């Protein structure tokens, strides 16, 4: 499901990361539009998830692995949304801060602050390193 211009990264400032690009990425994530999201990534991209078997989390390498990981996120938290976002960009590096919320398929409510550290190459995401605050159960 592609909506609007979500599938086309902002390239107004050559290869640098821009706040406009980060906002478009956030829109694609909130639309759960995997095709649009993946248009922002390089073929050899790396995504380090917040959790996983290593200190860097679960590392997914390449578009197919990243797409599969994101599909699992949307399947596991079908109503996941990223709100209250702020973005910073400098050259080929950027940061996004957000509030993630949703409900897992097991009925567990998710609500946590988080951030992404981005590295861009040729105007696309080469690396996404994601962090979530650990929320203690009530």
Instruction: Give the pTM.
Output: 0.84
If DSSP codes are grouped into helix, strand and coil, which group holds residue 46? Answer: strand
Q: Are 121 and 17 in contact (CB under 8 A)?
A: no
Tokens of residue 10, six digits: 């902002």
- Gap between the Cα atoms of 74 and 55, Å rounded: 23
The CA-to-CA distance between both ends of the chain, in Å, stands at 37
R_g (Cα) of the chain, nearest Å: 14
If DSSP codes are grouped into helix, strand and coil, which group holds residue 79? Answer: coil
- What is the domain count for the chain? 1
Give pLDDT tens digits for 47-60: 999 988 898 889 99
Give pLDDT tens digits for 29-53: 999 999 999 999 999 999 999 988 8
Q: How does 83-111 read in b/e, with b if 16+ C-beta sit within 10 Å?
A: eebebebeebebbbebebbbeeeeeeebe
Is 9 contained in some domain? no
Provide the CATH number for the domain around residue 58.
3.10.450.50
Is 45 contained in some domain? yes
Domain interval for residue 69:
19-132
Is 100 contained in some domain? yes
Give pLDDT tens digits for 72-128: 999 999 999 999 899 999 999 999 999 999 999 999 999 999 999 999 999 999 999
């Amino acid at each position: 499901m592609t909506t609007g211009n979500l599938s086309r990264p902002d390239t107004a400032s050559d290869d640098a990361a821009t706040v406009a690009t980060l906002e478009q990425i956030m829109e694609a994530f909130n639309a759960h539009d995997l095709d649009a999201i993946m248009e922002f990534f390089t073929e050899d991209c790396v995504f380090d998830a917040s959790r996983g078997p290593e200190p860097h989390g679960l590392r997914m390498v390449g578009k197919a692995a990243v797409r599969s990981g994101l599909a699992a996120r949307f399947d596991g938290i079908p109503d996941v949304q990223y709100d209250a976002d702020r973005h910073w960009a400098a050259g080929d590096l950027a940061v996004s801060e957000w509030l993630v919320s949703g409900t897992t398929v097991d009925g567990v409510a998710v609500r946590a602050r988080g951030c992404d550290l981005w590295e861009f190459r040729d105007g696309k995401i080469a690396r996404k390193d994601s962090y979530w605050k650990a929320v203690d159960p009530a």
